[in-house]
């Protein structure tokens, strides 16, 4: 690890470029009225060669990032383009606290400092709320294909239980798109690279009349899979249209519609420890994994299941369609602004994957309606800044999931309904010109229902039963499917829960460009169901976060140093794993298990001595341990699949697993992003940007069974690029390479329940290519 750090410092100090800074440093052009108001607010102007100011809307109002008393990272549109961010999973290389991983079926697992969700389960809801222009995306595949024509991406670290809609236990990711403006423009980007990469992005902005403008943008991506059998590819198409109507200075209406399709083979996994250590990206259908699976006793012995495939095939696929419509209506009453955001999101996923070591076939359909209304002060510089609002969310989710583990196969066909109501408010009051207090609270009430069917292997026929086995199955099951040997039972459930979350904070201007702040905030993720007859529920998980931080600019605005210390108390963690279900068989269940204490420090140093040079260092120290982590694991299909101590449960084919004292998964103790940029100016006005960056992480676990295959050793992943920009800045040409070391880095895992073998998802290997960008206005 020490050698990695020395190499990183050398790379950053000698080579010269910035690619993976976790704080966006490029200018952010705001097209909406809120941003224009913030830009008009009195701020110290940057000096020549100084650090550019960034405007964010993390607190539902536009404000300077350096004056925002929050733990927040903002990634600009330029950073996203330079880092080749085309899907949400790619954000991991830019923000140290953030981990995103592809899962089977095209979903995304998101964690912040180890707190998140298991997105491979359709019942699961995100622990990190992802919002598109203020609209909550409920499904794990919701953000796929949205990363084009963006203004910025904001990553809020810690619970957002006051201002944000649902389930923001660990934080929120806000995807902010570029908005229509009053200038006619056309821009586009074409990227080509290895693995057959071809990505085209484009946007046109057209003023229609006074106060009316239209912006249409889209993206098409084609890339072969990183795995040798074609998995982990990217085949997506997306389009977004936005119409801004501003009939007066007081009223603004933004209408938005978007559509995304994701196809191809989808994410893939490999057996770990790797069967071929020199080629970790050799796909599981080719590397000898099937010989292991075929040799195991996976076939069921009680009840025929002819659909079972005791091997991994290359016929997996994803077929995802997401679309949505929304409106953002702003009206200024004179010092008070009303914002109303009605929205509808439709998500439909059809997929087959083998990431768990067995075939998983599923169809999901989500229809979500939401409405948010906010009334707040609109007087920049006023002593009291306040906001109150209400939120309504209604989702109908249907899915059909067939997880074919052989001896423990399971088919779940539920209809789920979720309704959430919330009222919230937050205020900041200036006691003096330099000292401010903040307080906020939110009341949330949720109602959930479940209906449908759950199927599994047929039960054992009692000794002495007078009839045939099939007659018993027809009697015991409701219903019995003889063609597949599946015994069904009715699903049901009603769940009602309420929660008050709150925030308190203090902030102090220690100087003209120095802010000191302290916050305590709470958040929760609602409880829910799993595929079983009653008992089939789990309760909410909660997080309380204490934060102390400081944001500073020094030496004529050329040095920025931000530091944040945090302490999180994480209770009633929702853990999903294979377990016994009612009336029989095994499936994915969720239960509350344990408490964790998470604390650490994140520090960012940015030095921009001139317009031609920029050095960035962002380091995070993270200590995360479960003080109490006990859950039940079945042993009916195999010995316990864990490295933690176990205790036999009397009268059951199950053990209690005690992982107390273990580190939280996906939380490396050390993470360092280092980057440096130098711009060479030419006599004709053109310029050449030379960039290089690296991310170094200490070892961590990607799963909570703590098996050898789930261990990720310390790693170093670097990148570099050269970009020539024309004198009028309308045209640029770039060459880039990512993951120079060709390091295989694990991002997620699943333990095959019968064999106890670990299957892992890998981040991208070395990639390289060329990118052309143009803008005409």
Residue numbers of the domain that contains 11: 2-776
State pLDDT tens for residues 506-562: 999 999 999 999 999 999 888 999 888 888 999 999 999 999 999 999 998 899 999
Task: Determine contact, residues 321/261, Cβ cutoff 8 Å.
Answer: yes
Is a pLDDT exceeding 70 seen at residue 302?
no
Question: Residue 490: which of 527, 449, 531, 526 has the closest Cα?
Answer: 531
Task: Determine contact, residues 673/83, Cβ cutoff 8 Å.
Answer: no
Query: Of 40 and 391, which is predicted with more confidence?
Result: 391
Q: For the residues 164-183, what does the mean pLDDT come to?
A: 86
DSSP state of 712: E
Confidence of residue 367 (pLDDT cuts 50, 70, 90): very high
User: Average per-residue pLDDT in the chain?
Assistant: 87
Query: Of 27 and 363, which is predicted with more confidence?
Result: 363
Q: How far, in Å, CA of 766 to CA of 469, rounded?
A: 56
Q: How far, in Å, CA of 690 to CA of 721, rounded?
A: 6
Query: Of 367 and 41, which is predicted with more confidence?
Result: 367
In this predicted structure, which of 63-67, 654-658, 663-667 has the lowest mean pLDDT?
A: 63-67
Q: CA 247 from chain center: how many Å?
A: 37
% of residues, the chain, pLDDT over 90: 60
Q: Look at the chain and report how many structural domains it folds into.
A: 1
Identify the CATH number of the domain in which residue 518 sits: 2.40.170.20
Q: CA 83 from chain center: how many Å?
A: 17
For the purposes of burial, counting CB atoms within 10 Å of the CB of 3, is it exposed (0-12), middle (13-18) or buried (19 or more)? exposed
State pLDDT tens for residues 702-760: 998 999 999 999 999 999 999 999 999 999 999 999 999 999 999 999 888 778 889 99
Is a pLDDT exceeding 80 seen at residue 418?
yes
14 three-class SS: helix
Is a pLDDT exceeding 80 seen at residue 74?
yes
> For the chain, first and last CA: distance in Å?
49
Question: Residue 289: which of 358, 243, 347 has the closest Cα?
Answer: 358
DSSP string across 560-609: EEEEEEEEEEEES-EEEEEEE-SSSSEEEEEEE--EEEEEEEEEEEEEEE
State pLDDT tens for residues 117-139: 766 678 888 888 899 999 999 88
In this predicted structure, which of 193-207, 241-255, 444-458 has the lowest mean pLDDT?
A: 444-458
Query: Of 487 and 569, which is predicted with more confidence?
Result: 569
Q: For the residues 205-210, what does the mean pLDDT come to?
A: 96
Helix (H) or strand (E) holding 746: strand 746-751
Q: For the residues 283-309, what does the mean pLDDT come to?
A: 66
Model-level pTM?
A: 0.89
Return the pLDDT at 38: 38
Confidence of residue 584 (pLDDT cuts 50, 70, 90): low
State pLDDT tens for residues 744-759: 999 999 888 778 889 9
Task: Report the DSSP pairing between strands 72-76 and 150-157.
Answer: antiparallel
b/e map 340-351, b = 16+ CB within 10 Å:
bbbbbbebbbbb
Is a pLDDT exceeding 90 seen at residue 384?
yes
5 three-class SS: helix
Confidence of residue 77 (pLDDT cuts 50, 70, 90): confident
Query: Of 343 and 458, which is predicted with more confidence?
Result: 343
Return the pLDDT at 15: 37
Confidence of residue 42 (pLDDT cuts 50, 70, 90): very low
Question: Residue 567: which of 529, 520, 502 has the closest Cα?
Answer: 520
Return the pLDDT at 309: 53
Determine the Cα angle at 241 with ends 266 and 129, to 5°: 55
CB neighbours of residue 599 within 10 Å: 17
Helix (H) or strand (E) holding 56: strand 55-56
């Amino acid at each position: 690890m020490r050698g990695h750090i020395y190499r990183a410092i050398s790379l950053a100090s000698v080579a010269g470029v910035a690619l993976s800074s976790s704080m966006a440093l490029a200018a952010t052009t705001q097209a909406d009225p809120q941003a224009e108001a913030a830009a008009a607010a009195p701020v110290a102007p940057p000096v020549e060669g100084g650090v550019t100011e960034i405007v964010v809307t993390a607190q539902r109002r536009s404000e300077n990032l350096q004056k925002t008393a929050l733990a927040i990272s903002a990634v600009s549109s330029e950073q996203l383009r330079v880092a080749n961010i085309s899907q949400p999973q790619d954000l991991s290389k830019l923000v140290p606290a953030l981990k995103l991983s592809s899962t089977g079926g095209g979903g995304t697992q998101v964690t912040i400092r180890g707190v998140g969700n298991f997105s491979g389960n359709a019942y699961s809801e995100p622990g990190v709320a992802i919002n598109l222009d203020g609209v909550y995306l409920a499904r794990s595949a919701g953000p796929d294909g949205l990363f084009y024509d963006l203004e910025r991406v904001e990553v809020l670290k810690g619970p957002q239980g006051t201002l944000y809609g649902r389930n923001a236990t660990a934080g929120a990711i806000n995807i902010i798109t570029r908005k229509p403006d009053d200038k006619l423009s056309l821009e586009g980007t074409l990227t080509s690279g290895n693995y057959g990469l071809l990505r085209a992005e484009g946007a046109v902005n057209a003023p229609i009349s006074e106060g009316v403008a239209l912006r249409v943008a889209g993206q098409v991506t084609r890339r072969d899979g990183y795995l040798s059998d074609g998995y982990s590819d990217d085949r997506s198409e997306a389009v977004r249209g936005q119409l801004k109507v501003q009939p007066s200075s007081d009223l603004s209406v933004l209408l938005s519609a978007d559509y995304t399709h994701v196809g191809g083979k989808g994410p893939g996994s490999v057996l770990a420890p790797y069967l071929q250590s020199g080629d970790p990206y050799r796909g599981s259908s080719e590397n000898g994994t099937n010989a292991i699976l075929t040799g195991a006793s996976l076939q069921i012995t009680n009840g025929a299941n002819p659909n079972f495939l005791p091997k991994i095939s290359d016929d997996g696929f994803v077929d995802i369609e997401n679309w949505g419509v929304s409106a953002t209506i702003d009206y200024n009453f004179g010092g008070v602004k009303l914002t109303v955001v009605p929205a509808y999101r439709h998500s439909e996923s059809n997929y087959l994957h083998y990431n768990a070591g067995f075939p998983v076939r599923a169809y999901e359909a989500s229809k979500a309606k939401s409405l948010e209304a906010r009334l707040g002060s609109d007087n920049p510089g006023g002593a009291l800044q306040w906001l109150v609002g209400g939120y309504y969310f209604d989702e109908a989710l249907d899915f059909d999931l067939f997880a074919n583990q052989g001896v423990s196969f399971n088919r779940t066909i539920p209809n789920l309904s979720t309704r959430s109501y919330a009222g919230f408010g937050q205020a900041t009051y200036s006691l003096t010109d330099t000292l401010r207090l903040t307080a906020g609270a939110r009341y949330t009430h949720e109602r959930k229902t479940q209906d449908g069917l759950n199927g599994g292997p047929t039960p054992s026929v009692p000794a002495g039963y007078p009839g045939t086995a099939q007659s018993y199955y027809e009697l015991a099951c409701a219903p019995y499917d003889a063609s597949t040997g599946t015994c069904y039972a009715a699903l049901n459930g009603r769940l009602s829960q309420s929660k008050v979350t709150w925030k308190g904070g203090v902030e102090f201007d220690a100087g003209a460009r120095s802010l000191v702040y302290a916050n305590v905030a709470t958040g929760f993720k609602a409880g829910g169901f799993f595929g079983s007859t009653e008992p089939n529920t789990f309760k909410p998980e909660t997080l309380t976060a204490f934060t102390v931080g400081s944001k500073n600019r020094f030496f004529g605005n050329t040095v920025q140093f931000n530091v944040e210390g945090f302490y999180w108390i994480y209770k009633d963690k929702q853990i999903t794993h294979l377990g016994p279900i009612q009336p029989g068989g095994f499936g994915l269940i969720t239960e509350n298990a344990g408490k964790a204490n998470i604390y650490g420090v994140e520090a960012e140093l940015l030095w921009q001595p001139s317009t031609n040079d920029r050095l960035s260092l962002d380091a995070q120290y993270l200590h995360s341990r479960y003080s109490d982590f006990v859950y039940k694991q079945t042993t009916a299909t195999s010995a316990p699949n864990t490295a933690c101590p176990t205790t036999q449960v009397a009268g059951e084919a199950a053990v209690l697993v005690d992982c107390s004292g273990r580190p939280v998964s996906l939380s490396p103790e050390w993470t360092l992003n280092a980057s440096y940029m130098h711009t060479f100016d030419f006599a004709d006005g053109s310029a050449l940007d030379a960039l290089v960056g690296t991310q170094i992480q200490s070892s961590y676990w990607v799963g909570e069974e703590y098996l050898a295959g789930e261990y990720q050793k310390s790693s170093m992943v670097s990148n570099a690029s050269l970009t020539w920009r024309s004198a009028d800045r309308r045209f640029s040409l770039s060459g880039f390479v990512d993951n120079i070391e060709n390091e295989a880095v694990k991002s997620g895992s699943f333990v095959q329940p019968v064999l106890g073998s670990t299957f892992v998802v890998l981040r991208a290997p070395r990639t390289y290519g060329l990118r052309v960008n143009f803008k005409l206005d």
